[in-house]
A and B are shown apart, each in its own frame.
Chain A
């Protein structure tokens, strides 16, 4: 299963990269969203997918049966942070769109004369 997941994750990263290299703001943001999903799955897979029970102490469950708790803790942090970042970029993009009336990053750049 882990090997299969490796390919799925690779596919997610590929799609994310492709979208991030586009000029449209929305596609870039969707790309970063896909990227974080890929990263979360990657961390999860690294820890091994063979756990038989959630990592919660319970009667009749041996410690060896738990899924790896460490990647889960990392991912939990990562989900929240990536949400914060996504929300921030979204609003930034929205405001940029309002001010500049374009969502094309090439046009947003402007020219050197605008800076002065």
Chain B
């Protein structure tokens, strides 16, 4: 139960934020918010030691038991690592935001409520063991991301970016839900752990491939992989703390988490390995290439984030190969999943610090345009140092943690060439080549980012503000992250023992039964291996690419916008197309809408009669037909006909009256004296009312226009009439159960002490119905009174006067 409370703690705290914001003006609201992720972070660290020994924790809260819907929080290596990232980076981001967002100018309560909402949602995603609640939390992250991107909602670009990210991630999320439903149908359970336990059986199921593809759609849209990367650069309109938190360290890694979590289920599939590895590698190279085109600092980081996520994705794909090989080769692929988790941690540290530095540059100089920036090194020495550490780590230079995981990545990609299955023996050789090219671009954009901002010539005239170093509070968070970048380089194996290995155990439970069996050792120096020569090549070629950037950057202008154009076109088509479609049937005329209603009434009722076999007609149990019945019918029909055909208003009102009185007569002959009385009174009042309202109108409106005969109207009317007749006959001809009237007949005297059964039903058995009926009448009466008394400005007349002038 503790664990469930921990997930919801941020949302609960969010309720108090607006109050604190309104009441406590002197203190920045962020200080209160900071307590939440900080205490949660400390709470989760208490699990580290036990989880490192391979223990797991669960706690369950039954939500809707009849639907088997429950919150199951499951803490193992993988979810604990993510939880620590969410709360740890969360604390740093909140601390940073206190100095980034001005408490007098910004809508802080909105910001922090959204942020806390996101925190809960994200914790829920990584801890849920129940696929449906996982999906719910998943969509909640999309929604809170939407709100946070659109935080400065009066900017067009913010709203556009927010909508784009929402459209793409929710689209993928819905498909993922489909995949989850298929999985739970196949395994007859909603629990991920139980699904993993039956992985071999699931793989033989006919829906297996569909579930796989659908789940991957969710992962790829969320982690901005493949063609779906386009939402992330536009999401950079969010405030920088949000970009650092959601769009680099946590939310975009939900897709990674999903792939890692479901690897035990899907890894046996060839399609899974191909899709995950190839999509990851494609994204890695494509986005690292386009990162060099960007001139917005956050744009560079956005593309770099997408490409680094691609790297992790490709590693997870390669890690899945370990399910298919034995013996010596197996150890090589074991590396891949390990490297994926390791790089995930490293990426969170260096990319988080870089985003915060961009925020600082933006805050202190007023621009993020790399063309206007330059030479900030001497003005902002601390920021420069942090940026340098982050960039070099991202580039994969020794002394920084990125180097270690980049080396492991190259090892994994090289080993793909040795993987003989699934036609990797033919195409496998492409993988290390693509990986190398992507690494060259990665090295290049890392240097491009840091040199063009902090080195070169200082251009004070181009900057909106006079540049200076940021306040110390703003620097704390990036310094902490940058320190981690270096620390992890020197103690990688301690990190591995406590964080990476337990997570790997969760991804590859079939390979290892215990943490101690994972015998991967990270070392910075392997001797003169292929990887080392590749790395040296990356440094040389990447360095040359940056130096000559000006000469070939114009090449980018010839590359079309591709996926973005596709998205815009799709949005455009659905927008105008749907408009056109709804204009086709939403004519704005009541007649048309009534036609739809009557037509659907006919279709539904006739359809039901048809499918239920209701077409029977039986003369049994019917009352005899008497002469005066027929006379009354004749009167009623002629009254109706008069109302139908006449042009005179008076005549049509009289026609309606004739029908009303003959209905009253029917009540008389069918032994319903109460009804007959009521009907007579009401009919008289009604006719009087009709005459009052319509007869005393101006002379020219005493006559109606001739009603033109219209075929569709006639057809619909006849169909409605026929339907009602059929229903009446069907109801008469098949009595399926005895009437409950028998109960009233028997008990009317003993229970209610009355003789007139109808009256007793109304005032006794169904007394409340009658009470509400009176209430309805009272409301109608009030309405009528108001309409007669109130004289609201006569729009029609005013208009006429205007026209006359």
Residues of A within 8 A of B (CB): 1-15, 17-24, 26-27, 29-30, 33-34, 37-38, 40-42, 44-58, 63, 66-70, 72-73, 75-77, 79-81, 83-88, 90-95, 97, 99-101, 103, 105-106, 109, 114
Contacts and interface: CB of A to CB of B under 8 A. Distances in A.
Instruction: Report, nearest first, the 8 A-B pairs whose CB atoms are least far apart.
Output: A14-B721, A10-B725, A6-B728, A69-B757, A67-B671, A84-B780, A18-B717, A57-B755
Contact of A66 (B623, B640, B757, B761): B757
B714 interface: yes
Interface in B639-671: 640-641, 643-644, 649, 652-653, 655-656, 659-660, 663, 666-667, 670-671
Contact of A2 (B673, B732, B769): B732
B707 A90 contact: no
A76 B677 CA distance: 10
A50 to B, nearest CB: 4
Contacts of B784: 87-88, 91
Interface in B717-765: 717-718, 720-725, 728-729, 731-732, 739-741, 744-746, 748-749, 755-758, 761-762
B582 interface: no
A3 B625 CA distance: 10
Contact of A49 (B623, B633, B697, B713): B623
Interface centre among B660, B672, B697, B795 (most CB of A within 10 A): B672
A50 B739 contact: no
A10 B728 contact: yes
A24 B701 CA distance: 11
B714 A41 contact: no
Contact of B721 (A17, A19, A30, A81): A17
A1 B330 CA distance: 87
B536 interface: no
A22 B591 CA distance: 7
Contact of B739 (A12, A47, A92): A47
Given A2-B732, A22-B707, A70 B686 contact: no
B633 A8 contact: yes
Contacts of B721: 10-15, 17
A70 to B, nearest CB: 4
B34 interface: no
Contacts of A80: 678, 682, 773, 777
A70 B769 CA distance: 13
B589 interface: yes
A21 B591 contact: yes
A45 B732 CA distance: 8
Nearest to B697: A97
A34 B643 contact: yes
A103 B788 CA distance: 18
Contacts of A40: 663
The A interface is mostly helix, strand or loop, or mixed, namely helix
B621 interface: yes
Given A6-B725, A81-B776, A101-B796, A91 B787 contact: yes
Nearest to B618: A3
B561 interface: no
Contacts of B710: 21
Interface in B757-805: 757-758, 761-762, 766, 769-770, 773, 776-777, 780-781, 783-784, 787-788, 794-797
Nearest to B632: A8
A57 B246 CA distance: 77
Contacts of B694: 26, 90, 94
Nearest to A112: B588
B617 A14 contact: no
Contacts of A53: 671
Nearest to A22: B707
A30 B652 contact: yes
A55 B758 contact: yes
A81 B731 CA distance: 25
Contacts of A91: 693, 783-784, 787-788
A101 B698 CA distance: 10
B685 interface: yes
B588 A46 contact: no
B783 A88 contact: yes
Contacts of A67: 670-672
B623 A56 contact: no
B636 A8 contact: yes
A21 B595 contact: yes
A90 B690 CA distance: 7
Contacts of A38: 724
Contacts of B674: 72, 76
B710 to A, nearest CB: 8
Contact of B745 (A24, A29, A69, A77): A69
Interface in B57-91: none
Contacts of A11: 637, 640, 721
Nearest to B794: A99
14 contacts: A3-B732, A5-B728, A22-B591, A33-B686, A38-B724, A47-B741, A50-B621, A63-B746, A66-B671, A67-B670, A73-B761, A75-B672, A81-B776, A84-B781
A109 B588 contact: yes
A45 to B, nearest CB: 6
B705 interface: yes
Contacts of B667: 44
Contacts of B685: 83
Contact of A57 (B625, B633, B649, B749): B749
Contacts of B746: 63
B321 to A, nearest CB: 62
B725 A9 contact: yes
B704 interface: yes
A73 B644 CA distance: 30
Nearest to A104: B705
